[in-house]
Amino acid sequence: MGPIDYKVYASLYPHLGEIMETFRKGTFETNSSSCHSITFAEDSAPDQTDCVLNVTGEGDFGWEVKRYDSPIDKMNYALIAYHYICADEDECKSVFSEIKEAFARRGVTVDFNEDSYYQKPAIRFEKVWEDDDTLSAVTTGYIDHQSAPSDSEDCERLAKMFRDSPDELFDFVFGNSYIDTDNDNR
């Protein structure tokens, strides 16, 4: 199937014409969003010595132009991705237990923040009253919708790795794998 003809598409969906422009002939374009690239290294990561990984499930992985290659950033990204496919709190607790055991065998103590056991993906807002009676929001982990497991095969692979393969997850977290985040506004 060839590229979508914008004029034909716009006539079928005229309400979209207000937010769309044609920049390249024969190419249909939508509003912009993030684009994340996950590189999975094939080599095994070395065992660690007396390492503690405090996993919070926090992080705003959206439009920033950044490479995430530290173990904690990769683990938090993987945890947030996993929350998109997690069935329920019992499954989360079981998966977290398996990860703790697998990582411990390779010299790493994993400490999951208890708030990370079962979070819905995306930003979670909670009412927090400040001293001056103003309302503020507390956020937890987020992966931009265009790069989350429902729209990204790599992110879905990482989420399933978190759930199903703690040894592969260890290699991802402590190996040469990395996550590049970017956006298509540049």
User: How confident is the model at residue 58, as a pLDDT?
Assistant: 80
CA 147 to chain centre: 7
Q: Where would I find the H helices in 5-152?
A: 6-12, 71-83, 89-105
User: Strand pairing partners for 39?
Assistant: 178
Q: Taking Cα atoms as reference points, which of 32, 28, 31, 33 lies closest to residue 11?
A: 28
Percent of the residues in the chain that have a pLDDT greater than 90, as a whole number: 37
Helix 166-174 and helix 153-164, axial crossing angle in degrees, nearest 10: 120
User: How confident is the model at residue 32, as a pLDDT?
Assistant: 54
Cβ atoms of residues 37 and 180 within 8 Å: yes
* pLDDT tens-digit map of 98-123: 999 999 999 999 998 766 655 555 44
* pLDDT tens-digit map of 152-163: 788 899 999 999
Residue 143 or residue 80, greater confidence? 80
DSSP per-residue string spanning 103-119? HHHTTEEEEE-GGGSS-
Q: Taking Cα atoms as reference points, which of 143, 156, 154, 162 lies closest to residue 178?
A: 154
User: How confident is the model at residue 59, as a pLDDT?
Assistant: 79
148: pLDDT strictly greater than 80: no
Arithmetic mean of pLDDT over the chain? 75
